[in-house]
Amino acid sequence: RVIFNIVNFSKHKNLFREGMTPLVKSTSRPKQRMPNKYVYYYRSPQHQNHYVLSFAFAFDREEDVYQFAFSYPYSYSKCQVHLDLLEKRQFPHFHRELLATTVQQRRLDLVTITHPNNMPLGSKKQHVVVILSRIHPGESPASYVCQGLIDFLVSSHPIAQVLRDHVVFKIIPMMNPDGVYLGNYRSTLMGFDLNRTWDQISRWAHPTLHAVHTMLTELDQIKDVELDFVLDLHAHSSLLGVFVYGNTYDDVYRYERHIVFPKLLSQNAEDYAASNTMYNRDLNKAGTTRR
């Protein structure tokens, strides 16, 4: 039996204190969560009062190769396979295009889902919803949510059909392909946290942000196009449930529009956590997608 100590966690509140445990798989066994009786998360005076994640594990099969993970992985390759399969099905309401390439020349895919009659944009009054995901590589649950959303929107479900009739969905399933490929937790290949960089975008250092920012600006300038939402999907390391982070505005009408979506979400999502939903203007959140 081996005891692993992962040091220098900074947050007091963490899902490891709520029963979450690391994931483990081996050559002969599928991925599974470790029993929580072997996992501990605590403050350590020996590490400048930072927190430590400790877990014990018994390597019972010498010939196996073991792998550990924070959460269920969702790789760049998995994303590409998913989009390839959808593209091969040739849905009339599904379109995939290359929006940009990363520093290491990986694809930044843009998926458009809508009824063919809604294209091209600007031909009539249209409502557009933009959905971004996986700007932080370590937040793999966001990719599972995004994949589920895409699969639903292309399906024959009656609600999906109505949504396609009335809304143009622009979805970017993986905002940080290099970071995901390299196994980073928050950053890109060059060490940037893209969700703190929207206010200082460099075409050279942040090509994916530059491409998405350009797309959003162009959408906002098209006559008869209402850019209703820009939703950025994340996964949280310390809070449970589904919730929304947003901004506060002096414009009452804009603020009221901003809180309609969480209200609808609370009425339709069993896991919605109203207590975790937050609107603010914190300066330390400057450069995030929502700003």
- pLDDT-derived band at 279 (thresholds 50, 70, 90) equals confident
C-alpha to C-alpha distance for 53 and 41, rounded to whole angstroms: 5
Q: What is the pLDDT of residue 256?
A: 82
**What pLDDT score was predicted for residue 212?**
97
* Phi/psi-derived region of residue 100, left when phi > 0, alpha when psi is between -120 and 50, beta in every other case: beta
What is residue 216's three-state secondary structure?
Answer: helix
Can you tell me the distance from the alpha carbon of 180 to that of 280, in angstroms, rounded to the nearest whole number? 29
Q: What is the pLDDT of residues 181-209, one digit of tens each?
A: 999 999 999 999 999 999 999 999 999 99
Confidence of residue 288 (pLDDT cuts 50, 70, 90): confident
Q: Which two tokens stand for residue 106?
A: 């990986």
Q: In a 10 Å sphere around its CB, with 0-12 CB exposed, 13-18 middle and 19+ buried, how is residue 54 labelled?
A: middle
- Calpha distance 246→244 (Å, rounded): 6
Q: Which amino acid is at 234?
A: H
Residue 153's H or E segment, with its range, is helix 141-153
- Residue-range domain boundaries for the chain: 2-69, 76-235
Domain 76-235 has CATH 3.40.630.10: yes
Alpha carbon distance 266, 246 (integer Å): 15
The DSSP annotation for 236-281 comes to -SS--SB--EEE--S-HHHHHHHHHHHHHHHHH-TTB-GGG-EEE-
Q: Beta-carbon neighbour count of residue 66 at 10 Å? A: 14
**Per-residue pLDDT band at 157 (split at 50, 70, 90):** very high
Among 14-28, 67-81, 270-284, the minimum mean pLDDT is found in: 270-284
pLDDT tops 80 at residue 282? no
96-124 confidence digits (pLDDT tens): 999 999 999 999 999 999 999 999 988 88
How many angstroms from the chain centroid is the CA of residue 8? Answer: 24
Mean pLDDT within 162-167: 97
What is the reported pLDDT for 249? 79
Distances (CA, A) of 139 to 150, 179, 184, 187, 192: 18, 11, 10, 11, 16
For 183, half-sphere exposure in the C-beta direction (CA atoms, 13 angstrom radius) is 3
**What local confidence, expressed as pLDDT, does residue 237 receive?**
92
